């Protein structure tokens, strides 16, 4: 099993925060804590709970409002910042202290998903895209001031012009649970034509094949295999989860077990945070993550079954072949 990388943040932000950099001291209009502000332009096309870029969303557990100001193309800060064929983008995120006291900046993470399937992007840091400071920095924001962070993400190929859904998770000092708010806009560039037709949905009670949607909105793609390495082959699959609810979903929360051969021998297991990155899913949106696993080389070619156990204990079996 592999541990998914977490978004980094440069410690040099400590000096910037303490000297006022990253903050805009202009007073911002306050919003009632725990309330939801309607999105501005484009809100009629968005489900309730998702704000358009540029609109403010109040956090429920503290005196803060969050805004995703923009998603813009950028030049990668280093050759290895983004995978081959991917593009680089800068997400500008602002947190405004709407209270009357100086407040510790919440521990904040940003997840960007693109397209109808909510394909995951990959975070990176570098000059000009340091992200949010680590919690131990203890960054403070004055009343009415705004802290702005630039977050770098690598965007998958053929995503230009597609929907970009941003999940912002902010954990207030002294609390264990994060507030999650959602924003939506477009990936810069002209929309590319769809590369493949939508996957089919299996009938209720039917056997599931890799690549199909289950009736309750879970899909696992066929496995992509690498070359043999000392008797094992690295593999990856795409896990997709659809949230058809009017409420946010806490995350995909699916544990994946790869079973090979007629004996259904367990080859590998991956779960949220241990094999793939997870984050809350916005209402009426889909999330897709790449899950890294491995299988014995002797199992190729041969049958494979992927057991997908959901958070509530429900299990789905997807059948296919390793080839």
Check which CATH number belongs to the domain holding 233 and give it: 2.60.40.10
Residue with tokens 């924001």: 141
Contact 140, 86 (CB under 8 A): no
The pair phi, psi for residue 47, each rounded to 5°, is -65, 155
192 located within any domain? no
Cis peptide bond upstream of 155, omega within 30: no
Are residues 165 and 214 both part of a single domain? no
Are residues 34 and 132 both part of a single domain? yes
The whole-model pTM stands at 0.84
163 located within any domain? yes
- Smallest CA-to-CA distance from 184 within 48, 315, 289 is with 48
102 located within any domain? yes
Q: What is the dihedral of CA 9, 11, 13, 18, to 10 degrees?
A: 140
Domain containing 127 equals 13-186
Are residues 25 and 173 both part of a single domain? yes
Q: What pLDDT sits at residue 28? A: 43
CA 94 from centroid of its chain's CA atoms: 18
Is residue 215 classed as helix, strand or coil in its secondary structure?
coil
Are residues 120 and 225 both part of a single domain? no
| 163-171 and 179-186 strand pairing | antiparallel
The Cα–Cα gap between 150 and 244 comes to: 31
Are residues 228 and 262 both part of a single domain? yes
- Smallest CA-to-CA distance from 122 within 89, 149, 150, 92 is with 89
166 located within any domain? yes
203 located within any domain? no
Are residues 161 and 17 both part of a single domain? yes
Rg (CA), the chain: 21
Are residues 66 and 163 both part of a single domain? yes
270 located within any domain? yes
Element spanning 266, H or E: strand 265-272
Are residues 64 and 138 both part of a single domain? yes
Note down pLDDT in tens along the chain; length 323 residues: 444 343 333 333 333 333 333 555 544 443 333 333 333 333 558 999 999 999 999 999 889 999 999 999 999 988 888 999 999 999 999 999 999 999 999 999 999 999 999 999 999 999 999 999 998 899 999 999 999 999 999 999 999 999 999 999 999 888 889 999 999 999 998 887 666 678 889 888 889 999 999 999 999 999 999 999 999 999 999 999 999 999 999 999 999 999 999 999 999 999 998 889 999 999 999 999 999 999 999 999 999 999 999 988 999 999 999 99
- Smallest CA-to-CA distance from 97 within 59, 51, 129 is with 59
């Amino acid at each position: 099993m592999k541990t998914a990388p977490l978004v980094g943040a440069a410690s040099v932000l400590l000096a910037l925060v303490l000297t006022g950099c990253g903050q805009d001291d202009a007073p911002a209009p306050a919003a009632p804590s725990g309330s939801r502000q309607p999105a501005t332009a484009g809100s009629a096309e968005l489900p309730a709970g998702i704000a358009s870029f540029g609109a403010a969303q109040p956090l429920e557990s503290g005196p803060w409002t969050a805004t995703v100001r923009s998603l813009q193309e950028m030049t990668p800060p280093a050759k290895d910042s983004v995978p081959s064929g991917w593009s680089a983008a800068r997400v500008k995120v602002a947190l405004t202290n709407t209270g009357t006291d100086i407040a510790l900046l919440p521990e904040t993470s940003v997840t960007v998903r693109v397209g109808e399937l909510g394909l995951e992007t990959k975070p990176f840091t570098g000059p000009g895209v340091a992200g949010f400071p680590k919690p131990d920095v203890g960054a403070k924001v004055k009343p009415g001031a705004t802290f702005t962070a630039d977050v770098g993400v690598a965007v998958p190929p053929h995503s230009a012009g597609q929907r970009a859904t941003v999940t912002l998770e902010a954990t207030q000092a002294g609390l264990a649970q994060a507030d999650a708010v959602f924003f939506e806009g477009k990936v810069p560039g002209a929309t590319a034509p769809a590369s493949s037709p939508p996957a089919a949905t299996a009938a209720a009670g039917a056997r599931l094949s890799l690549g199909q949607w289950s009736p309750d909105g879970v899909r696992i793609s066929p496995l992509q295999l690498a070359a043999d390495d000392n008797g094992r082959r690295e593999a990856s699959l795409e896990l997709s989860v659809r949230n058809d609810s009017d409420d946010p979903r806490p995350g995909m929360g699916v544990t994946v077990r790869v079973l090979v051969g007629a004996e259904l021998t367990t080859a590998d297991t991956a779960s949220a945070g241990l094999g793939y990155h997870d984050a809350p899913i916005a209402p009426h949106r889909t999330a897709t993550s790449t899950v890294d696993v491995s299988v014995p080389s002797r199992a190729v070619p041969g049958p494979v079954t992927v057991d997908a156990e959901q958070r509530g204990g429900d299990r789905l079996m997807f059948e296919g072949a390793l080839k």
